[in-house]
Amino acid sequence: MIPQPVTQSPLPDQTFTLQSSATVGLVGDSDAASRVADHLATLLRVSTGFPLPVEPGTGTITLSTDGPSSLGAEGYELRVDSTAVTVTAATPEGLFRGVTTLRQLLPAKAEAGTEQAGPWEIDGVEISDAPRYPYRGVMVDVSRHFRSVAEIKRCIDLASLYKLNRLHLHLSDDQGWRVQVDSWPDLTKHGASSEVGGGPGGHYTKADYAEIVMYAADRFMTVVPEIDTPGHTNAALSSYADLNADGEAPPYYTATEVGFSSLAVHKDLTYEFLDDVFREVAEQTPGDVIHLGGDEAHSTPHSDYLAFVPKAAELVVKHGKRVMGWHEIADASLPAGSIVQYWGTDDDRAQDLTRNAAAQGAEVVMSPANRAYLDMKYDQDTPYGLDWAGLISVETSYSWDPATLIPGLAESAVIGVEGPLWSETLDDMAKLEFMAFPRLPGIAELGWSPASALDWTTYKVRLAGQATRWDVLGVNFYRAPEIDWA
């Protein structure tokens, strides 16, 4: 099972068998809890062929929101014996996390899109579980190569299976602007019309974005939109000449080098632009965070950068959201409640900035590029990806502790982890999946499981057991040589 639960005790000589007469019982009358029950029943109806009606009260599989609040919003208890399965939580979100565990206890063929032959057996077990960190994310870069709504939904489905609860969408960069902004229509009319290599690009209409947000919410994932500033902005600068310091719009950019673009920090129009963008994105985003980027602003003079970040952050706060940004923003003054995302490679500067963020009261999400960047090659023979942060094997990606990676950073400052998936070389879903799997489940476990459970020797055995499930789901995963997939 991945992530490893906090406690897991087998019940000897107890085996549950799902029969055609089974029901899904729901104790709790919230719409969200009903959706969790319906989600489980719908999944199992397809693969088992059983009717599995959802009924109020107890059932063969009972989902209850009458669980203890001591396990928090995402915690749950699960019991399987010879007669029944019970998942109990204090909230629908906790119920959903318990259901994801139940799915992993079932045979992998339960995930199939066609009816399969039984038996449908689960060994007896008692589990009590809750996450180590509240923020456990995956980032999908749709700016370098655009991904459709259907493809983002698949990302959500695969990530939520491992209890990830944040979907960070990198919506703007030099190569493309991907979200509709009514007050600045050329951002998508012009700025969305390309991508790395000169492809057609694309963007999300407001209806598309709402569909993604709702689909994620039904799986208890919160969308974190990123509008990268003040660098990584060529798509916006190409769309509106007046946003440029010299008033001249640059052409589309379809290569992959970084650090050459910058908003005109001294222009009032820049902040009018950001005010409109953050307002419209905030209106469409139920989550409490907007990510304003802030990395690799090499063409922005440092003094200008230090002046820009507080002004941009103030606009995020103005529209009711918390500020999130890459660790560079911690060089400036940050508003209360900010989140800084560390992407360093053990370098002193990045670590100093992250400690400075914590000293300002900011919280930290850990995404060290030489461990958590899912677009880095596994080894020198990996056909896709980059290697500027190093070659990251599955073991390297898993074998670190978010709480102790940065010396002198208080453990209390760390609120979670995220696996970024940059897309410079990843122009289709098969390549994204190949780079994310099998490393993403390890990032998920680092965010969920207690530090005492993090052990490579036992983890790699559990990871090997996921292969059958991925085969059923059609995941294009990398069969890393350090794992005994047989």
Rounded-to-integer distance, Cα 424 and Cα 229, Å: 19
The residue from 151, 296, 314, 395 that is catalytic is: 296
pLDDT given at position 185: 98
- The answer to whether the Cα torsion of 277, 283, 285, 288 is positive or negative is positive
In the beta sheet, which residues pair with residue 186? Answer: none
Q: What is the mean pLDDT of residues 194-207?
A: 97
CB 268 within 8 A of CB 241: no
The yes-or-no answer on residue 296 being catalytic is yes
CB 203 within 8 A of CB 147: no
CB 99 within 8 A of CB 160: no
Q: What is the mean pLDDT of residues 116-128?
A: 97
SS3 31: helix
Q: What is the mean pLDDT of residues 326-337?
A: 98
User: How would you write 303-362 as a 3-class SS string?
Assistant: HHHHHHHHHHHHHHHHCCCEEEEEHHHHHCCCCCCCEEEECCCCCHHHHHHHHHHHHCCC
Q: How many helices (H) and strands (E) does the chain have?
A: 15, 17
Asked whether residue 339 carries a pLDDT value surpassing 90, the answer given is yes
Asked whether residue 412 carries a pLDDT value surpassing 90, the answer given is yes
Helical residues (DSSP H) of 67-127, grouped into ranges: 92-105
- Per-domain residue ranges for the chain? 7-129, 135-452+464-473
- Average of per-residue pLDDT values in the chain: 98
The CATH number of domain 7-129, selected from 3.90.550.10, 3.40.50.2300, 3.90.930.12, 3.30.379.10: 3.30.379.10
pLDDT given at position 29: 80
Rounded-to-integer distance, Cα 156 and Cα 150, Å: 10
Asked whether residue 486 carries a pLDDT value surpassing 90, the answer given is no
SS3 214: helix
User: Chain centroid to CA 32: how far?
Assistant: 21
Scanning the structure block, which residue is given the tokens 């390890």?
442
User: How would you write 414-463 as a 3-class SS string?
Assistant: EEEEEEEECCCCCCCHHHHHHHHCCHHHHHHHHHHCCHHHCCHHHHHHHH
pLDDT in tens, 414-434: 999 999 999 999 999 999 999
Q: What is the mean pLDDT of residues 198-215?
A: 98
Closest to 315 (Cα-Cα) out of 353, 282, 288, 341:
282
pLDDT in tens, 244-281: 999 999 999 999 999 999 999 999 999 999 999 999 99
Fold agreement (7-129, 135-452+464-473): no
In the beta sheet, which residues pair with residue 293? Answer: 229
Tell me the DSSP string of 223-240. EEEEEEESSS-HHHHHH-
Whether this model's pTM surpasses 0.95: yes
* Cα angle value 74/83/49 (rounded, 5°): 80
For 135-452+464-473, CATH gives 3.20.20.80
Q: Which two tokens stand for residue 50?
A: 């059983």
Asked whether residue 215 carries a pLDDT value surpassing 90, the answer given is yes
pLDDT in tens, 71-115: 999 999 999 999 999 999 999 999 999 999 999 999 999 999 999
Q: What is the mean pLDDT of residues 309-318?
A: 98
